[in-house]
Chains A and B, each alone.
Chain A
Amino acid sequence: MSMSATTAGRTSSAAPEVRGGGVLPWLAVPALLSFVAFAVIPLIGVLALSFTSWDTLGDIQLTGFDSWWAVLTDPGLPHALWVTFLVTAVSWAVQTPASILIGVFLAGHQRYRELLAVLYFIPLLLSSAAIAITFKALLDPNFGLGAGLHLDLLNQDWLGEPVLAFSVVIFVVSWQFIPFHSLLYQGGVRQIPRSMYEAAELDGAGRVRTFFSITLPQLKYTIITSSTLMVVGSLTFFDLIFVLTAGGPGDATRVLAVDMYKRGFQANLMGAACVIGVILVLLGLALALLLRRLGGRDPGASQLEGT
């Protein structure tokens, strides 16, 4: 089975040159410094704060595992974990097939497809907060789209019913991010050698067969990349959900990130918020590693074989 993509050829030819010189480690210094300053150090701070009680006003008090105990025994935590998992799983399941299909469609070089592609990427240009405010206005049960157009079907308590509110979150998240993932897939599809399709055509494979036997397997690493971005990204969904539902109705859409904000900045429990922050980091790392494993061998190495 051939696994190649043209990028693989490029990286493999470029790598030895760089490796030869001694410049490479130095080139990493700026990135490393900013990573340490803006990721590692705050992370250590969060970990340290999780063993304290701090209301942001008084002194920071070392309280050992008190905050951990308070968070881990709070029935709100399993709920927030469950909601986070649901958001992650459902938004992945909605976005991935849609993105692949759209990506494959947009990979064609026809004029109208390129025009559509440009239009289609517009949601990417908007900020999450702006998208959330807009959808909130559109979905308003009394002054929104449904009331304006007198369409009873659109006139639901969109953000007031737990299941509807959850679906709205998934829909808006998908609306915002499918274009991005389609872009990834579009790039992925365009790098599949044409010769493979020509061969398949000669063998008499139809469109559907070609899609499942050539396009999809060839997109394996794009799927892994896109899934990693989706899964890790949806762990930290905050702005969109916070503006759209603020975790409501009740706590139906309270994902971990919203829970963290509410505990830290609204309830003034910085220790507990930091505990959730640590849990989020661990979850994100675990999921990213797991997804890499799912790809079988190390993607970097395996891309070198084939063609």
Chain B
Amino acid sequence: MESRTTSRRTFLGLSMGLPLGAALAACGTSGPAKPGGGGGGGGGGAKATYWFLSGPPGEPVRTAAVERFNKANPNSQIELTAVQNDAYKTKIKTAIGAGQAPTIIWGWGGGGLRSYVQAGQVEDLTSWFDENAAVKDRLFSGAFGAATIDGKIYAMPCETVQPIVLFYNKKVFEKVGAQPPQSYGDILDLVKKFNAAGIAPFSLAGQSRWTNMMWLEFLFDRIGGPEVFQAVFDGEKDAWNNPAAIEALTKMQELIKANGFIKGFSSVTADSNADQALLYTGKAAMMLHGSWSYGIQQAQGGDFVPSGGLGWMNFPPIDGGKGDPSDTVGNPGQYLSISSKATPEEKEIAKKFFTSGVLDDQEQKEWVDTGGVPIIKGSDSLFSGSKDAEFLNFVYGVASNAKVFAQSWDQALSPTAAEVLLDNIAKLFQLSISPQQFATNMNAVIGK
């Protein structure tokens, strides 16, 4: 649940006043600090290492899963290092680059994983999954897309699924006498209606850029289907010039010009959760955001979520569009890879952990308690009795019924292309470049 937000926070490398100094510092901390705990039953057996994000709600769940594994397997111990959220992406990258990677590498799959693969740093798990079909079959099949690079699987999907959801404030809808949108046409009507009532139609944290990207992801899919972005991902020349892409970009700017988003959205950031506050305080009527936002609104919105003020739905279809209305985007899961530099014994331990440790019954239960949906087929049976059952069932339904569960673009692309993408998205939303200029700028970095 927090993984998405925290992955964003890595952009806020506050400590990196001097990039050079940061690079030096990162080189200096060659390995993780060894926690003393592992010294128990190991008895000379090999030890695998495992780095992941610290902080609630994920850290306690991850730690508990490893502790259970270590207890059950006295001869195969896993040594944990929880790395602080902000520093994780840079630190793991530096460690891998320096040949100091942990045995088990926690990550987001997609473009980041591709760069590890290209550098030959992670194990190909395809044949292992073929031999251990049971491990693969119990997981959402949609979760494997972001773990698959050029037809081979390089990571074990784990943890929870996080689709992007259209949230809305039921109380505001009631006040204005409006119904949730059934189509994109409805959205345009609602924009007029809410603007007339002095309420912003959509909340948006424009300064964070990836928040804007979620809009494009849905417009592209609903208008042209998943193939449009897939062509970009596959490195097809001039893929952004697809008429569907241009139409989506044009519609995007039209919505901005029609005051679809809250005034001053370019000053709002997602890190401070101000966009979500706009929704639960009723200053905005709707918001496109990751499913993790549910937990944030519940924690910070006071009475809003418990009193049934929060509504949610999948993004509606666009008239005449090709995309399937069941399609969604977001984080299909989190991912565990095995370092190719690890010893055979360490790799064995990691695989044993993948088979018997990852998402065992207890871990699934704990994820549900944090408001997350584990990527296990049938995990919805765990939702009954949870106060969030309604939302959890919705997310489970979206994730398991989606014809295509696309990965967020910035995670799917290489870091280089993702940075150019976010940059151009910011300019598109500023209306400082036209849809065609956007396409031209983006075509220049296809395949990079």
Contact = CB atoms under 8 A, between A and B. Distances in A.
Interface in B410-430: 414-416, 418-420, 423, 426-427, 430
Given A268-B115, A268-B415, A249 B268 contact: no
A87 to B, nearest CB: 17
B206 interface: yes
Contacts, number: 118
Interface stretch (A103-111, A133-141, A209-217, A227-235): A133-141
Contact of A261 (B19, B116, B265, B277): B19
B411 to A, nearest CB: 13
B274 A143 contact: yes
22 contacts: A56-B94, A57-B116, A58-B119, A59-B119, A136-B269, A140-B267, A141-B264, A142-B268, A142-B283, A157-B266, A157-B267, A158-B264, A159-B207, A160-B267, A249-B206, A249-B266, A249-B426, A250-B426, A250-B427, A250-B432, A266-B11, A267-B419
Contacts of A158: 264, 267
Contacts of A261: 13, 16, 19
B93 interface: yes
Interface in A186-230: none
Interface of A, helix, strand, loop or mixed by DSSP: loop
B64 to A, nearest CB: 31
A267 B420 contact: yes
Nearest to B414: A268
Contacts of A262: 419
A56 B99 CA distance: 11
B266 A248 contact: yes
A85 to B, nearest CB: 20
Contact of B90 (A58, A159, A265, A277): A265
A265 B13 contact: yes
Interface of B, helix, strand, loop or mixed by DSSP: helix
Contacts of A263: 419
Interface in B69-109: 90, 93-94, 96-97
Given A58-B97, A243-B12, A251-B423, A139 B267 contact: yes
A46 interface: yes
A-B pairs, 9 with minimum CB distance:
A160-B266, A141-B264, A267-B419, A157-B264, A58-B119, A159-B267, A160-B267, A250-B427, A268-B415
Interface string A226-264: 000000000000110001011011110000000011111
A268 B89 CA distance: 12
Nearest to B432: A250
A178 interface: no
